[in-house]
Amino acid sequence: MFVVEGTGIKSEVSSMPGIYRHSTDLLLEEIKELQDLGIRAIDLFPNYAEHTKDRLASESYREDTFYLKALTAVKEKFPDITLMTDVAMDPYSSDGHDGVVVNGEILNDPTLEILGKMSIAQAKAGADIIGPSDMMDGRVGHIRQLLDEAGFSNTSIMSYTAKYASAFYGPFRDALESAPKFGDKKTYQMNPGNKREALIEAQLDLEEGADFLMVKPALSYLDIISLLNDNFDIPVAAYNVSGEYAMVKAADRNGWLDGRKIALEILLSIKRAGAKVILTYFAKELAGEI
């Protein structure tokens, strides 16, 4: 789900029909509906206005931002909903990248410090599961240590372990208005042609304290889901990403495919491949059917 600052806002993401950016007041109403449909977990992403962004994503850990307040409001109103968050600089970065940019290069270690502060801020605000999606090296261990030291040993980490540099994230970047201002994310996200690197990333994340290993995107990476499920003993999560949603909706709207059936078949294939957790924009539409 996407949250935006303000009140009374419900604006549809043009490339994701049926998916909205809600202001917190309407978000809470929507979550009530989701809960009534049997949905027990949500992942909340913020859309930040351009003027609040800076090179070091400082809005990501400033106290009392609309996003952190939204997390607290959700958790207070719906204590039984498992609340997931995303840890990466891009929604808050004036460069639109997941890490600190210096001379056109993304710097790994300076980024860890910011991701750590962001994680603590989100845990304090009420997040149950922290999702580092940035793909910097060493961030899971760093975040785990900081969470433990700050008294958040029960806050879980769902690591975006095998996150590929994919064109399937386009509609999500529309939703957050977070597309990179230059270049691409290939220096930190994985090469779609590389399978064995997923095993290396998973081993590192496991050793650093991840509670879940996520594969993303899902549909074009079913082999990776299966590989991690066969080789690791913690749950594999799969992110059925924005582009995977958008293409089903587009074909359905054109009358070319039966979108509902296709969505169910896609989710079934992700589960068959070995995913124990699936993040999907189809959740509301298909709740009760799976």
Ligand X SMILES: NCc1[nH]cc(CCC(=O)O)c1CC(=O)O
Residue 169 interacts with ligand X (CB under 6 A): yes or no: yes
Residue 43 interacts with ligand X (CB under 6 A): yes or no: no
Distance CA 81, CA 35 (A): 8
Residue 86 interacts with ligand X (CB under 6 A): yes or no: yes
CA 193 to the chain's CA centroid: 22
Query: Min. distance of Cβ 8 from ligand X in angstroms?
Result: 25
Judged by CB, which is closer to ligand X: 227, or 246? Answer: 246
Judged by CB, which is closer to ligand X: 66, or 92? Answer: 92
Query: Min. distance of Cβ 134 from ligand X in angstroms?
Result: 6
**Would you call 163 a catalytic residue per the annotation?**
yes
H helices of 126-166, in order, are 139-149
Among residues 61, 152, 172, 282, which is the contact residue for ligand X, using CB under 6 A?
172
Q: Give every CB contact of residue 141 below 8 A, 6+ residues apart in sequence.
A: 207, 208, 209
Judged by CB, which is closer to ligand X: 13, or 68? Answer: 13
Among residues 34, 56, 88, 228, which is the contact residue for ligand X, using CB under 6 A?
88
**Would you call 186 a catalytic residue per the annotation?**
no
C-alpha triplet 182, 186, 192: angle, nearest 5°: 140
H helices of the chain, in order, are 24-36, 66-77, 108-125, 139-149, 170-176, 196-208, 222-231, 242-253, 259-273, 283-286
Judged by CB, which is closer to ligand X: 20, or 169? Answer: 169
**In a 3-state reduction of DSSP, which class is residue 65?**
coil
Residues 182-201 that bind ligand X (CB under 6 A): 185
Residue 205 interacts with ligand X (CB under 6 A): yes or no: no
Among residues 15, 133, 159, 229, which is the contact residue for ligand X, using CB under 6 A?
133
Distance CA 70, CA 140 (A): 24
Distance CA 214, CA 270 (A): 12
Among residues 21, 53, 74, 90, which is the contact residue for ligand X, using CB under 6 A?
90
Residue 211 interacts with ligand X (CB under 6 A): yes or no: no
Reference 100, options 87, 115, 86; nearest CA is 115
Residue 241 interacts with ligand X (CB under 6 A): yes or no: yes
| Total interface residues for ligand X by CB under 6 A | 12
- Sign of the Cα torsion 20, 15, 134, 203 reads positive
Q: Which residues bind ligand X (CB under 6 A)?
A: 86, 88, 90, 98, 133-134, 169, 172-173, 185, 241-242
Q: Which residues are the active-site residues?
A: 163, 216
